[in-house]
Structure 1
Amino acid sequence: MFEKKSIRMLITTILIFTLIYLVYLTRFIFQPVGAYFTAIAVPIIGAGMIFYITNPIVNWLEKKKIPRVIGTFIVFLLIVLFITVVIQFIAPVVQKQFTNFVDGIPKMVDSAQDLIDMWQNNQNIIPPQFENAIQNITDNLGTYAEKITAGLFSVIGQVFNFVFSFFLIPFFLFFMLKDGHRFVPFVKQFLSPKKAKSFQQLANNINHTLASFIQGQFIVSVCVGFMLYIGYIIIDLDYSLSLALFGLVMNFIPFLGPFLSAIPAIIVGFFQEPMLAVWATVVMVVAQQIESNFISPNVMGRALSLHPLTVITLILAAGGIGGFLGLLFIIPAYAVVKTIISHFYLEWKKKQSETDPNLL
């Protein structure tokens, strides 16, 4: 009876759901563990991202006969130098532009209300439903502006909380750079030779997937941010540096990021001078075309091999569940899960073909 595949699959499915139900009933046992992992999630993820960006430098220094510990200290010195440059030259400009932007929001609201009033006064026939919708928007412009400003400051507060967790990142990063290459050999010593080989391959695949995405996305985002900044400077757009940095961060969100980064630039351009909204759109389109046709294919290639529809579905789901952080991390998380499942599926298929050659 149990030799039939359908029966075995049914029993396996029942056991899996039974296990899930038992875990749900005893979830209070895992709450302290969940709280612990939540507390260290930001430092580990942040250190992991910086690790994949800086690890090639440490590896290169190690090939030049420089001890890994000294290479790690050199990387930390480079990071400190980079932060110093940002604080001295970039942060003051961004702060000034952001302050001017917040101070200019009431003026933008008044301009929008004047524009709607002028458009209403010059229309002879307006459908009642459309007129009511416009009137509702006009009456609530001030409320919308307050909500946008409050939401903006809320985001800033979350960013500061996020930055506070970064104080632990240097400690995690130091030991990742110094001892990260010892993790796989340490685990392999507890496994049989066959399982150790499988684990080594799985670790290499995961490492390749994360390195391809993080390093590639970092290079691509920096290039896009630089192109946007040059374009905004050429068209003389206000808050050009802040908008370019916003575009750089948004570009870490695959597919939707470039379009999200264009919205503030188009709005700012429209209120500065309506034609600038068109030019801001042109800058975004040109930068996006250069990135998608020249930079990404050469930097990232097709390392993740994700279908665009899969990317869109994941982003929509992650945005609703995890917010902005969900948008940032859903693609690499999915790629890692996909790599793990593919590895174990291939291992299972190899094992089945060895026991039953006629199975496949």
Structure 2
Amino acid sequence: MTDRPAVPDPAPQPRLRPGPIAIVFAAALLLAAAWQWSNVLLMGFGAILIAIALRAGAALLNRRAGLAFKPGVLLCALAAILAVAGIAAWAGPSISEQFRQLIGSLPDAWRQVEDWMGESSVGQFLERRMENAQAGGGAAPTGSLPSVFGYLTGTLTTVFGSLANLVLLVTVAIFLALDAPMYRGGALRLVPPFYRARAARIADELARALGRWMGGQALDMVLVALVTGLGLWLLGVPLALVLGLIAGLTNIIPVVGPFLSGIPAVLFAMTQGFELAIYVALLFVVVQQLEGNLLMPLIQRFAADLPPALTVLAILAFGSLFGFAGVVLATPLLLVSIILVKRIYVEDVLGDREDG
């Protein structure tokens, strides 16, 4: 019996390595696709935020009641939907009527402003400046409502009227929360193997930071809504419920949010008297000072501490790029950007690690 010659093992196939031109082309293609699908990506980012909140609730149920994660996610989602539906059924008609009254009162409020501007020396000075700016092509006509009200009503319509997008957002968030490890693992497979463990740690850090930010922001919004609504009610301002709700919702936007909620409240109070409008303005100033100097620093000790200057620039940048959705998501997007720049560029590319 003759021995057969041994068959040599096949030579290992070399891995395909893209050249510099292919890398640049792929990067440009990805940037173009991201810009074209920016609305979809923003909705996906919002769904990730909701999914993180659902997973946090499921983790709490798992620790306290021993409930598995998937049933816990479904239970948290159902509880949130039932809570929103209950609040809408209980206070929805009243809030809807108050919103109609608020929007209907804005023209009368603006006429009150015009009357004050015509009677006081300060108002006459401001009116002359507005007329000069209008003559130079800068400002809107004095007899019309400022564009901020159109922006505000458009914002409210966008927030409360996009029901289909909201349903889609919640549905995607539930799917993400149910199978978060699968989606996380699939995303990590796109990372080179030698960097995969590091990418996993960064992803976990992002999830923790976003979870802390959402918890702190939710607490801040609820407290601002309660304090503002209670203060307006004590002052005898009608529509205190809806004005407090607006103050809480718009407080998700740092710096800009208080102005979006304070301007309509002051103008509506002006229909009841100029003195009441002054008290309302002082109330908003006091609430925002307490929130900015006392409440938010306490929350940020357990959440995320973001530089105020970068926060304002992020609002301007993301707002100009993506509109109202970019304004609302500017703070979490900034938080993600800071962590990615610090971990990937500063530490991994430059080698400047805090631990030396």
Which bracket does the TM-score occupy, shorter chain normalised? 0.7 to 0.9
How far apart in 1 are the matches of 2:188 and 2:149?
Answer: 53
Structure-1 residue corresponding to 2:239: 239
C-alpha distance after superposition, 1:279-306 (max 9, x if no partner): 2233223322332344323322275443
| CA contact 1:43–1:166 (8 Å) conserved in 2 | no
Change (3 A) 1:327 1:302: farther
| CA contact 1:47–1:172 (8 Å) conserved in 2 | yes
How far apart in 1 are the matches of 2:58 and 2:333?
Answer: 25
Structure-1 residue corresponding to 2:6: none
* Counterpart residue type for residue 83 of structure 2: F
| CA contact 1:206–1:336 (8 Å) conserved in 2 | yes
Q: Is residue 2:88 matched to residue 1:84?
A: no
How far apart in 1 are the matches of 2:75 and 2:321?
Answer: 39
| CA contact 1:54–1:75 (8 Å) conserved in 2 | yes
Q: Look up the SS of the partner of 1:241 in the other structure.
A: helix
* Counterpart residue type for residue 72 of structure 1: V
How far apart in 2 are the matches of 1:312 and 1:135?
Answer: 28
| CA contact 1:43–1:172 (8 Å) conserved in 2 | no
Q: What is the number of residues matched between the two proteins?
A: 328
Change (3 A) 1:41 1:90: farther
| 53-62 or 229-238: bigger deviation | 53-62
Structure-1 residue corresponding to 2:98: 97
How far apart in 1 are the matches of 2:169 and 2:256?
Answer: 28
| CA contact 2:39–2:322 (8 Å) conserved in 1 | no
How many Å apart are 1:317 and its aligned residue?
Answer: 2.8
Change (3 A) 1:278 1:99: same
Q: Is residue 2:185 matched to residue 1:180?
A: no
Fraction of identical pairs, as percent: 20
How many Å apart are 1:19 and its aligned residue?
Answer: 3.0
How many Å apart are 1:87 and its aligned residue?
Answer: 1.5
Structure-1 residue corresponding to 2:69: 68
Structure-2 residue corresponding to 1:19: 24
C-alpha distance after superposition, 1:214-257 (max 9, x if no partner): 22111111111111111111111122112111111221112332
How far apart in 2 are the matches of 1:149 and 1:326?
Answer: 19
How far apart in 1 are the matches of 2:103 and 2:76?
Answer: 37
Change (3 A) 1:62 1:236: same
| CA contact 2:224–2:287 (8 Å) conserved in 1 | yes
Change (3 A) 1:189 1:98: closer
Change (3 A) 1:112 1:73: same
Q: Look up the SS of the partner of 1:306 in the other structure.
A: coil
| CA contact 1:53–1:214 (8 Å) conserved in 2 | yes
| CA contact 1:109–1:141 (8 Å) conserved in 2 | no
Structure-2 residue corresponding to 1:251: 251
1:5-154 correspondence runs (5 A): 19=24, 30=32, 35=36, 37-38=37-38, 40-41=40-41, 43-63=43-63, 64-119=65-120, 133=132, 140-144=141-145, 151=151, 154=154
Change (3 A) 1:84 1:275: same
Which runs of no fewer than 5 residues in structure 2 stay unpaired? Answer: 1-19
How far apart in 2 are the matches of 1:338 and 1:104?
Answer: 43
Structure-2 residue corresponding to 1:311: 311
Change (3 A) 1:307 1:83: closer
**Higher share in helix:** 1
Structure-2 residue corresponding to 1:341: 341
| CA contact 1:250–1:260 (8 Å) conserved in 2 | yes
C-alpha distance after superposition, 1:325-358 (max 9, x if no partner): 2222122112212211211232345599xxxxxx
How far apart in 1 are the matches of 2:214 and 2:94?
Answer: 28
How many Å apart are 1:190 and its aligned residue?
Answer: 8.1
Change (3 A) 1:289 1:332: same
TM-score by length of structure 1 reads 0.76
C-alpha distance after superposition, 1:128-173 (max 9, x if no partner): 965955998xx9444337x666555544543366332122123212
| CA contact 2:269–2:280 (8 Å) conserved in 1 | yes
How many Å apart are 1:48 and its aligned residue?
Answer: 2.4
C-alpha distance after superposition, 1:26-76 (max 9, x if no partner): 69x955x755x4463454233223223332210011223212222122112
* Counterpart residue type for residue 167 of structure 2: F
Structure-2 residue corresponding to 1:355: none
How far apart in 1 are the matches of 2:42 and 2:313?
Answer: 25
Structure-1 residue corresponding to 2:225: 225
How many Å apart are 1:198 and its aligned residue?
Answer: 0.9
Change (3 A) 1:78 1:114: same
How far apart in 1 are the matches of 2:290 and 2:337?
Answer: 30
How many Å apart are 1:208 and its aligned residue?
Answer: 1.9
Q: Look up the SS of the partner of 1:237 in the other structure.
A: coil
Q: Look up the SS of the partner of 1:53 in the other structure.
A: helix
* Counterpart residue type for residue 316 of structure 2: L
Structure-2 residue corresponding to 1:9: none
1:202-213 correspondence runs (5 A): 202-213=202-213
Structure-2 residue corresponding to 1:10: none
| CA contact 2:131–2:142 (8 Å) conserved in 1 | no
